Structure 1
Amino acid sequence: MPIRMVPDKGDGQRSNRPPRRSSNSRAGGGMGGSLLPMLLGLLLKKPKLLLIVGILFALFYFFGGSKGCNLGEGGGGMIGQLAGLTTGAEFDPALYDQAEVYEPLADNVNAPLPERVTLEKYCPPRLNQGVQGSCVAWASAYAARTIVQAQATGADPKRSAFSPSYLYNQIKIPNSSCQGAYIYRAMEHMLDGGVLPFSQFAYTDQSCSELPDDRERSGARQYRIKGFQRLSKGADDQKTDMLAMKQHLAQGSPVVIGMMVGGTFMQDMEGQEGWFPTQTDYRMPGFGG
């Protein structure tokens, strides 16, 4: 999901469809068929797309050397065998459906996009999330929110990064042993409550129990985002809208994603500049999100 630092203009760019809510939704991770990506569906079918290459590079940039972000905790079969790799992202179609849908401004013919876009100069240094399943907070607060702040204010992203623990400790899935969160909840929290700088709320992968006090919550409110949207084809179609993603990136907006990756991405990426999936990865003996 992209995040913004300017309010919605009410000019028709957001769907007016009321959100659908589900009272019996559950976290993803029980079976492979339910492990849907938050924004980037079926990336591996088009590995030569420049945008995809850029996104994979960005994922490595932020989480290089770490195990990555897996979908789900618990569940049987393959997930049970890969419990040691479980480090964060969860997907719930009903929860995802609550996010408003972005409507592209124009097609790529009438409004050509640049061939290449990078937000790297606004990125904070890549760090290791360790054993905690907090990848949603790292992607949302530490990465995307820091990019927005650096771009809007000129702040040095190395010194102005935001705290993943401040966000994750408040949005983690209850009773999950610090393993999992939803991207929608991260966006919702940054919209309503904001987030604190890393320097004011330290990160540890050994615990997710520390909660901010009233003073810290008050300080975080100055760093609230102004909005977020899901980049899918339509209100009832959750397929990824690649044009919408490209438009946001071209406009300087970071896009937070959840995606499925193979075992080589999870274990063999340290020191690598790009990920090239193998046939074994396509068969998904190991995967993450």
Structure 2
Amino acid sequence: MQVHEAGLLGRTAKAAAPQLCRLASSRRIRQGTRLLEVYLEILQGRGAGTGWDLHGEIVAARRCLRGVDAPVVFDVGANYGQWSTGLRTALGRRTGRFFLFEPQPACQSALARAQVPNQVVIPAAVSDEEGSATIFADAPGSGVASVHRRRDSYFGDMTAHQEKVPVTTIDREVERWGIERIDLLKLDIEGAELQALRGAGCSLGDGKVTTIAFEFGSANVYSRTFFRDFWDLLTPLGYRLWRICPGGLLLPVREYTEELEHFRGVSNYVASLKPA
């Protein structure tokens, strides 16, 4: 009976599709449907990191640092230090070390003036090898500056401002500063996150990086990277993945599916060697 009913429902839905399609194609219905679709995606964390829930990102980061008395944090793509400042406040203590990677001179001067205890500002972009690169943005100090030429439908042409900047790698800085562990590696570098992880190959392979927080979204169109690349790099090393949802809720990603290739806005993820 249940099989028969399922077949009948399927045939009815298929027969009704042409009429429903015409209805759904009207401009008013289409706009409303799109807004609902975006909202439902955001509730699952897809696109929820597009600048409006920094508090949720900090809540998730604090949760990942539970039980760590003096965390070592790499903030790669620090911009003006908003994320690190918020995390410091949330942790409620002055111990630990924060390494802020920021290639844009306009941001570096602001970070230096802050004079935060135990803070190290590294004036460089991060990738898979040392050298130099051009970053592209709409203006100096932009929060969406990238080493990739972007033409997102949301931001438009992101090549109005260009700067030549030095480039380093995570492995190089780990060696340079004699770092034994990174409790949290945060990557917000507009499409270059996978390159940065490849430049941390030795640190990842040695288990020095406990937790990674990274973005995935529209900028990955221009770096030609997929979520599959992150999955294939991190899961064989023992990392488990979660997507950050509004308010800092962590939704486990237990298996790879093509639905993870979500390029609308930005989605935030956590990969960790320990339970979240």
TM-score, normalised relative to structure 1: 0.23
Question: Given the two structures, how large is their TM-score scaled by the length of structure 2?
Answer: 0.24
Larger radius of gyration: 2
Q: Flag the structure with higher strand content.
A: 2
Higher helix share: 2
